[in-house]
Amino acid sequence: MTGTATDVVLTGATLLDGTGAAPLPDAAIAVSGGRITWVGPAAELGRSGREPGTELARGERRQDADGVGGREIIDVSGTYVTPGLMDGNVHLVLNCDPEILLAYDPGHYDELVTEAAQVALRAGITTVFDTWGPLEAVRRVRDRINAGEVTGSRIFCAGNIIGNGGPWSPDFFAAYGEHLNPATVERVNRHWEQGVGAELTWMPADDLRGAVRDYIATSGIDFVKYASSAHAHYRFLALSPGAQRAIVEEAHAAGLLAQACALTPEALKTTIDAGVDLLQHGNSTGLHPIPQETLQTIVERGLPCGALIYTDRRLDALRADPGLAAPAREGSVIKKENARRLIAAGAMLVQVTDAGVFGPRARTSPWVGQMYRAPDMPISLGDAHILWIRSAIEAGMAPMAALVASTRDVARAYRKDDQFGTVEAGKHADLLVLDADPLADPGNYARIAHVMRGGELIDRDRLPERPVLTRDA
Amino acid sequence: MTGTATDVVLTGATLLDGTGAAPLPDAAIAVSGGRITWVGPAAELGRSGREPGTELARGERRQDADGVGGREIIDVSGTYVTPGLMDGNVHLVLNCDPEILLAYDPGHYDELVTEAAQVALRAGITTVFDTWGPLEAVRRVRDRINAGEVTGSRIFCAGNIIGNGGPWSPDFFAAYGEHLNPATVERVNRHWEQGVGAELTWMPADDLRGAVRDYIATSGIDFVKYASSAHAHYRFLALSPGAQRAIVEEAHAAGLLAQACALTPEALKTTIDAGVDLLQHGNSTGLHPIPQETLQTIVERGLPCGALIYTDRRLDALRADPGLAAPAREGSVIKKENARRLIAAGAMLVQVTDAGVFGPRARTSPWVGQMYRAPDMPISLGDAHILWIRSAIEAGMAPMAALVASTRDVARAYRKDDQFGTVEAGKHADLLVLDADPLADPGNYARIAHVMRGGELIDRDRLPERPVLTRDA
Amino acid sequence: MTGTATDVVLTGATLLDGTGAAPLPDAAIAVSGGRITWVGPAAELGRSGREPGTELARGERRQDADGVGGREIIDVSGTYVTPGLMDGNVHLVLNCDPEILLAYDPGHYDELVTEAAQVALRAGITTVFDTWGPLEAVRRVRDRINAGEVTGSRIFCAGNIIGNGGPWSPDFFAAYGEHLNPATVERVNRHWEQGVGAELTWMPADDLRGAVRDYIATSGIDFVKYASSAHAHYRFLALSPGAQRAIVEEAHAAGLLAQACALTPEALKTTIDAGVDLLQHGNSTGLHPIPQETLQTIVERGLPCGALIYTDRRLDALRADPGLAAPAREGSVIKKENARRLIAAGAMLVQVTDAGVFGPRARTSPWVGQMYRAPDMPISLGDAHILWIRSAIEAGMAPMAALVASTRDVARAYRKDDQFGTVEAGKHADLLVLDADPLADPGNYARIAHVMRGGELIDRDRLPERPVLTRDA
Amino acid sequence: MTGTATDVVLTGATLLDGTGAAPLPDAAIAVSGGRITWVGPAAELGRSGREPGTELARGERRQDADGVGGREIIDVSGTYVTPGLMDGNVHLVLNCDPEILLAYDPGHYDELVTEAAQVALRAGITTVFDTWGPLEAVRRVRDRINAGEVTGSRIFCAGNIIGNGGPWSPDFFAAYGEHLNPATVERVNRHWEQGVGAELTWMPADDLRGAVRDYIATSGIDFVKYASSAHAHYRFLALSPGAQRAIVEEAHAAGLLAQACALTPEALKTTIDAGVDLLQHGNSTGLHPIPQETLQTIVERGLPCGALIYTDRRLDALRADPGLAAPAREGSVIKKENARRLIAAGAMLVQVTDAGVFGPRARTSPWVGQMYRAPDMPISLGDAHILWIRSAIEAGMAPMAALVASTRDVARAYRKDDQFGTVEAGKHADLLVLDADPLADPGNYARIAHVMRGGELIDRDRLPERPVLTRDA
């Protein structure tokens, strides 16, 4: 089903290697066994004992008979090569309207997850971190992709946000929970809750600790996420400081990173104090800006901060929308201002989008339809990451820094920078080859010549292989 | 898939032939080519040139080598044979909860319809009249059953109730329509509406007439049903007298019977004046009893009246339920009192149940769950018909008359008594063989020895072949 | 409290007498005992034995010592005199938000009614027909105004719209009924229902006839209004044709006019057939235009038609509002087109506005707030009548005809043209004196010099005497 | 309006002095200047230089000419005297249905507060602590009672629960907020919020501290209460530990006690850590029992614990009610079990009832109506305190201890035991004289002979002087 990684050399491109180093023109990147084996000026390729690529027409692939070990040489002159992009916060199943969850229930969520992983990969995002989803389906697809049985973005997943109920619980879209058959609502919610749902918010910290320990031990998750702020009523703390500390301790004891979603200044502070490794929505502080002291702590500790930011164009439209609740409107503006201050202070902001896949009917969806009221809808997987980079630049980040924030720093935030996030020898061969300079215009991230994942060149035209939500209505 | 009708003779049973005639003990019923060819005392079977059945153990079937044309003789001594039962008002898709319509949408409603037709047949109901359903699926299954491709009750169908919106429109369960994606709601509703939905209630009668004419010409329906009373707000008239007359005229012009659902005294009168052939829910007059003058008209015209009646046990429980709206509570009592008066006055009451198939989760269904608040839930296909007979007897109908009302008179009401409804030579061989006398106790309609439909003995244990709603949860 | 009618002569104005006759320049209108006693060219005033008015400064009043019987002569040269305006459909209590009905409950609705009658009078509307309101309060204020104890527009009232529930019932704003204490909801609704509410829609026509007869006999109403179309779900008929005829017959038997509110083509036809004397909202036919045949019947019978029409400016805004339900949007356009056709065909359209008093908080009212989404909010008492005239002219009515439709024809529709509606000898002295020609611009109806009601010159600056809703927030 | 305190001696009763001491038969209590001046055996009265009371018929009052300073002697032989009861948590305006708040808005809440203070006093509750109410009205009535202008229970008040929105906000009865005019909703809520409402939950702790400081400085409150748990979604923390500490510190800095409402084990722990002086609902820990460690802390610190407890009769009914949400049902059982454990461990449980005044329409109130689904409705001022005592005894408290918990310990919890709560010389003369022994049966607290407040014998038959909610419907 999926191609086989071959040994190739990409030559001639300008390399933006994800470290923030100056662009390297006419670079060569050698790939073997799914890894990058050598990176440097193309001119140096021969000197180190390897055969240079011969002149090829742009985009042509040729088996170089002279190569070592049958290595294919691809001349990508005129293009720009970056690390495959990484998104630190996606939801491979995000539109939880009944028409979707019921039609694909019970055994077909895998199709939704697979489509999303392929939509992401098609857009050049070679690794995604799913921070809330129906665990079993996400895990199955993750494993199939890892096993090479299915093409798609590499997935790391958290399962449930510990302490939150499922999609039709009061923590998310309560209206569905109130109007559908309770037995069905409970069954659907369980796909997400996995024993660490809302009931944990009622528990003494000691009981909660045990439930979390069990979850970590049996769920096969890659990292831990919990609800610091309540999701639907987000001025409240979902979990006490003691409970938060217990979760972080259990994660660390199991060798996993812990992150949390905090949405007010006090929740953010509580989260930092609990010892999390990554602040999800770290720039979302509701109706009040992030306090200066908290900001300083983030900077000093080098605490990675997954920032949700919207384009100025979107913010202008939100501000002008009288139908929008004040918090939603003001909150978005404050988020961006927080991002600006974090960037200026030298915090480590990384790309997170909260994105998922939406199809033709999403505009009228009770669940996510309102996101379309303003332009630059920011959570649609496939272009959300470009809007993020544009927004980050508007907030003061240099274009090169925005690239680093979308590659190496995501990997760092998740402590996977030894494997991913840069174009350096030894890393996984996840590459994005662009026809135009992404530093000149974020829109150029969409001008994709090639996507390579794990050394495999992706046939993007085939993705998604089985369109589900992205089918025509 | 389905068995083949064979030529058989049933002998030894007590025959209740559906005409109201006195029971005939030790009867013989000869079946050939799917029709009843001879009925009479078993003793007379030989005299008319046919071979008598030899002694067989109860329930044994044997190929009688001496028979004419390989006729099988079945000794059913000790049993009671009635015509196959008929239900003048069922809904083969009735539970319209999203978990059902979305999970089986778009092409799988057929499975629901097939299951329902088999649940009915298993219970001895050989013919059903579907008076509101997703037309295309009902029609497909109807045709497959008629073609012998699928086993099930014989179906006649009306498609939509003209003037009503679909199941998630304000005319039925508005809450779904308000909380789901409008694009999906519209799509689902269209399966029912078929171009003769709510928009017809806005029309001048002339425009409506054209729409109805088109519907009749193209829909393949068997009879016409329209909304005299509004369905959800049933104190209102859904269609004006002029519009009602137009519908009846168009039905008659096309050779179809017309029926309507009226729910108040004034709607009932309007419906009768419009010239309908059958009053659906003719005993449902809301908060006021049926006026004497209207009752007399029904009797004098011999207008068939499909009556919804509940058991006294259920009425007692409804009366005692403080959570129930007064109209629902009082209305049920008035329905039964109306039935009593209609029976006493000699009106032609026929069995209609409004029944459909419900599964294990129906008790918590927002759509039908409240029907379970009181015992003797009256609309569950498979036992609804027995509750109806019990209720009719409570309302003053003789047990034999109740049988006739559930067989011949349903056929008469639909002008199909030349084909169905009695055990008489020339009729379709639809038979119910019971192990105990149904006149002694309506519960005996459940003690089924055999069901024959169109001359075919049904293997009841196989039904439904593919359980959908009736599966375990 | 209220002034005393004096004998006066208004001289020098251009008279638009409400009959449609050509304007009469330099007219004189003599008033005595609350009635108009003589109308003609000022120059003729002396010839018939009366003393002419002497030269007065504009607006000055002077006791003319030379007059007959102490008659006051008022020189209103340069002004335009019309009959006092009449509105064939107002609601003196219209904003039924709980904050109003509960704060002024139980005994204080009179204050709301009084304020509304004074707001109307201040605007030159000397007579209003209240077609739905809390009967007891409206009646009390009506009687006080008639007795001269209170200043205000002359009121005629219908009490309830027979067949409709009260303001918090499902027929009006169901959300209040669903969320407030049921005991309180019932109590408030009863102020409107008066025994002829929703329960009548359940009744056989004979029972309904008795209830209506009692209501007419005991309620002290001036005319009868019933619900032909259901109010909230207006594609339905609220009352059967038989019930409608019964109501009209009872009204006529008691010497009262009958009107009905019909909102679809079929309801309109049913209403006409029932024999009503006035069609309320006669141009409102929902999603389909008024059928030509029905239109002809209206014209041929000279059936008065109270038309609801919006300005083109408003219609443009409604058409462009994506948040508005299609029926509301299209329905308004069809209303205007119906009005245009009725006018062109020579039907008798009369001014009805449905207006009531709104205060500063009405814009956020769940009850009426949405009316403010488009400009030219058409139901605010005090300027609704001017918007009506502007709309009627847009629909093809000549300015003079629009004045007649707002004066004499309202009186005719209510068969009170022997008393009101024109400036002719013998009529009540209800006059509007304007500083600019209303035929030139409907906005000039707001440039009021004087309002006279029953011969009394109104001190408009004092009105409303006790502001309630019109108070600052 | 209110009586004048006179100098009296009560003699002959059995004294239960609120300290837990053994009952003193044939006691004498001398009152002067509103204070208790002497308490002891009646026989000792003369010895200390005072004249003994002479024999009086039971209940008779006589001016003892021989007394010192005109002291009145009242023989109350056969009765039982206790301190006036104290309720540590009432809401003098509790039923916040629109029909009440709108009808009595804006200036008439005082009438509601006064009625409640009089209902309490009539029942023998001489002091109440209002922990959530419309501050301005409560304060005005408090001051009038203190000034002797109005009769009623002595009031101490907290105003708002810091961090909670008003009664129609999402924190209380959201349905009203969603269905009424937003401008009115905001205005009503402000009566409660007083600048320390929901907006504080969004704030960084430093900003919150300033707002609380302002509130304490300007509001005239007697003690501080804040929301530790969110009120409507009570599994969440409303305020972070840092915010909670800031509030407690500000209260203490101003010399006020601080209390909080915690509803889960973690919230309870957070509240204790914040340093509060009183745990409101200290036995309410949601779906999990109070952890043993927390319980020990409460005992060791002697932290007063206002316990909400229901009678076993009520709990049985709640357990059997299928319509009740599991948390509500189980939570009530856990509350009682918590109370049992706290009592057994020697914690200081004090009487708090959350009670307010309800009238005839309260049973159908959307706000509080569901409290009536089970017997022994526990929050109706006037008998709630007796149900509390009964419940406390069921939970293992000795009858004498339950009296102390309802008198002296409430005073202690609020650090007012130097002034109130016992029958000891020097204390305010707040006395309850009962016709039967309350230790024998809590129901005897309703057999009231006399209530004295501040030395004044209350004419109970006159209370409430102006019934509002307690009027007949």
Q: DSSP for D354-418, please give it.
A: -BB---GGGGG-TTTGGGGGSSS-TTBTTTHHHHHHHHHHHTT--HHHHHHHTTHHHHHHTT-TT
- Best residue of A176, A178, A179 to probe chain B, by most B CBs closer than 10 Å: A179
D102 → closest Cβ in C99, C183, C366: C99
A4-13, A68-77, A464-473, B48-57 — which is least confidently predicted? B48-57
Which chain D residues are Cβ-neighbours of C109 within 8 angstroms? none
Token duo for residue B418 = 């030349």
- Best residue of D236, D270, D288 to probe chain A, by most A CBs closer than 10 Å: D236
- Confidence category of residue A6, pLDDT binned at 50, 70, 90: low
- pLDDT above 70 as % of chain C: 92
Considering only CA atoms, give the Rg of chain A: 22
Nearest CA in chain B to A107: B103
Residue A433 contacts residue A86 (beta carbons within 8 Å)? no
pLDDT digits (tens, 9 = 90+) for B146-203: 999 999 999 999 999 999 999 999 999 999 999 999 999 999 999 999 999 999 999 9
Q: What is the pLDDT of residue C66?
A: 40
Residue type, A300: E
- Confidence category of residue A4, pLDDT binned at 50, 70, 90: low
Q: Is the pLDDT of residue C291 over 50?
A: yes
Q: Is the pLDDT of residue A280 over 70?
A: yes
Nearest CA in chain D to C363: D181
Contact criterion met (CB < 8 Å) for A267 and D240:
yes
* Helix H or strand E segment including C155: strand C154-157
- Confidence category of residue C324, pLDDT binned at 50, 70, 90: confident
Token duo for residue A414 = 């998740």
Residue D28 contacts residue D39 (beta carbons within 8 Å)? yes
Q: What is the pLDDT of residue B54?
A: 39
CA dist., res. B468 & res. B104, Å (int): 10
The CA distances from residue D335 to A199, A271, B342, B405, D130, in Å, are: 18, 31, 58, 59, 22
- Confidence category of residue C57, pLDDT binned at 50, 70, 90: very low
- Best residue of B162, B228, B240 to probe chain C, by most C CBs closer than 10 Å: B240
pLDDT digits (tens, 9 = 90+) for C353-362: 999 999 888 9
Nearest CA in chain B to A175: B179
C237 → closest Cβ in B199, B237, B265: B237
Q: Which whole number is the average pLDDT over A141-146?
A: 98
Which chain D residues are Cβ-neighbours of A205 within 8 angstroms? 266, 269
Contact criterion met (CB < 8 Å) for D239 and A267:
no
Say how many CB pairs under 8 Å bridge B and C.
94
* φ/ψ of residue C210, rounded to 5: -65, -40
Q: Is the pLDDT of residue D64 over 50?
A: no
Greatest C-alpha distance within chain D: 70
Q: Is the pLDDT of residue A58 over 80?
A: no
DSSP D149: S
3-state DSSP call for residue A72? strand
Token duo for residue B183 = 């694009």
ipTM of the modeled complex = 0.93
Which chain B residues are Cβ-neighbours of C286 within 8 angstroms? 202
Nearest-5° Cα angle at D192, D267 to D94: 80
HSE of D299, CA atoms in CB hemisphere, 13 A = 16
Residue B260 contacts residue B228 (beta carbons within 8 Å)? yes
Q: What residues contact residue B307 under an 8 Å CB cut-off, 6+ apart?
A: B281, B282, B283, B335, B338, B339, B342, B349, B350, B351, B352, B392
Q: What residues contact residue B161 under an 8 Å CB cut-off, 6+ apart?
A: B131, B132, B225, B226, B227, B231, B261
* φ/ψ of residue B49, rounded to 5: 90, 0
CA dist., res. A403 & res. A261, Å (int): 24
CA dist., res. B278 & res. B413, Å (int): 6
Q: Which whole number is the average pLDDT over D194-210?
A: 97
Contact criterion met (CB < 8 Å) for C237 and B233:
no
Nearest-5° Cα angle at C266, C260 to C268: 30
- Confidence category of residue C46, pLDDT binned at 50, 70, 90: low
Considering only CA atoms, give the Rg of chain C: 22
Contact criterion met (CB < 8 Å) for B176 and A176:
no
3-state DSSP call for residue D227? strand
Residue C132 contacts residue C192 (beta carbons within 8 Å)? yes
CA dist., res. D87 & res. D101, Å (int): 24
CA dist., res. A52 & res. A29, Å (int): 11
Token duo for residue C82 = 């019309």
Q: What is the pLDDT of residue D329?
A: 84
Q: What is the pLDDT of residue B46?
A: 62
Q: Which whole number is the average pLDDT over D343-355?
A: 98
Q: Is C20 left (phi over 0), alpha (psi -120 to 50) or beta?
A: left
pLDDT digits (tens, 9 = 90+) for B312-338: 999 999 998 877 887 778 899 999 999
Q: Which chains touch A (3 or more CB pairs under 8 A)?
A: B, D
Which chain C residues are Cβ-neighbours of D369 within 8 angstroms? 181
Q: Is the pLDDT of residue A104 over 80?
A: no
What mean pLDDT is reported for chain B?
Answer: 92
Q: What is the pLDDT of residue B47?
A: 56
pLDDT digits (tens, 9 = 90+) for B227-283: 999 999 999 999 999 999 999 999 999 999 999 999 999 999 999 999 999 999 999
D361 → closest Cβ in C98, C105, C181: C181
Contact criterion met (CB < 8 Å) for A184 and B361:
yes
pLDDT digits (tens, 9 = 90+) for A340-372: 999 999 999 999 999 999 988 899 999 999 899
Nearest-5° Cα angle at A234, D219 to A301: 100
pLDDT digits (tens, 9 = 90+) for D154-186: 999 999 999 999 999 999 999 999 999 999 999
Token duo for residue D162 = 């810091």
Q: What is the pLDDT of residue D47?
A: 56
B103 → closest Cβ in A102, A176, A179: A102
Q: Is the pLDDT of residue A47 over 60?
A: no
pLDDT digits (tens, 9 = 90+) for A67-89: 434 578 999 999 999 999 999 99
Residue C392 contacts residue C307 (beta carbons within 8 Å)? yes
Contact criterion met (CB < 8 Å) for B202 and C241:
no
B258-261 vs B278-280, strand pairing mode: parallel
Say how many CB pairs under 8 Å bridge C and D.
56
Contact criterion met (CB < 8 Å) for B184 and A97:
yes
For chain D, the distance separating the N- and C-terminal CA atoms, rounded to the nearest angstrom, is: 27
Q: What is the pLDDT of residue C321?
A: 83
* φ/ψ of residue B125, rounded to 5: -90, 105
Which chain D residues are Cβ-neighbours of A291 within 8 angstroms? 204, 206
Q: What residues contact residue A431 under an 8 Å CB cut-off, 6+ apart?
A: A10, A29, A31, A81, A82, A83, A84, A126, A423, A450, A451, A452
What is this structure's pTM? 0.93
B202 → closest Cβ in C206, C270, C287: C287
- pLDDT above 70 as % of chain D: 92
Q: What is the pLDDT of residue B64?
A: 44
Q: What is the pLDDT of residue B106?
A: 59
What mean pLDDT is reported for chain A?
Answer: 92
CB atoms within 10 A of CB D275: 14
C183 → closest Cβ in D175, D176, D361: D361
- Confidence category of residue B472, pLDDT binned at 50, 70, 90: low
Q: What is the pLDDT of residue D72?
A: 84
Token match 């099930």: residue?
B152
- Best residue of D95, D96, D99 to probe chain C, by most C CBs closer than 10 Å: D99
Which chain C residues are Cβ-neighbours of D366 within 8 angstroms? 179-181
Contact criterion met (CB < 8 Å) for D180 and C102:
no
pLDDT digits (tens, 9 = 90+) for A307-321: 999 999 999 999 988
CA dist., res. A125 & res. A127, Å (int): 6
Q: What is the pLDDT of residue D473?
A: 54
Q: Is C152 left (phi over 0), alpha (psi -120 to 50) or beta?
A: left
pLDDT digits (tens, 9 = 90+) for B398-439: 999 999 999 999 999 999 999 999 999 999 999 999 999 999
What mean pLDDT is reported for chain D?
Answer: 92
B400 or D3, which is more confident?
A: B400
pLDDT digits (tens, 9 = 90+) for B2-16: 445 568 999 999 999
Contact criterion met (CB < 8 Å) for C235 and B266:
no
Find the Cα–Cα–Cα–Cα dihedral B117, B118, B119, B121, rounded to 10°.
90
Max avg pLDDT among A46-60, B51-65, C205-219:
C205-219
Q: What residues contact residue D67 under an 8 Å CB cut-off, 6+ apart?
A: D9, D51, D73
pLDDT digits (tens, 9 = 90+) for C357-379: 998 889 999 999 989 989 999 99
CA dist., res. A222 & res. D429, Å (int): 69
3-state DSSP call for residue C62? strand
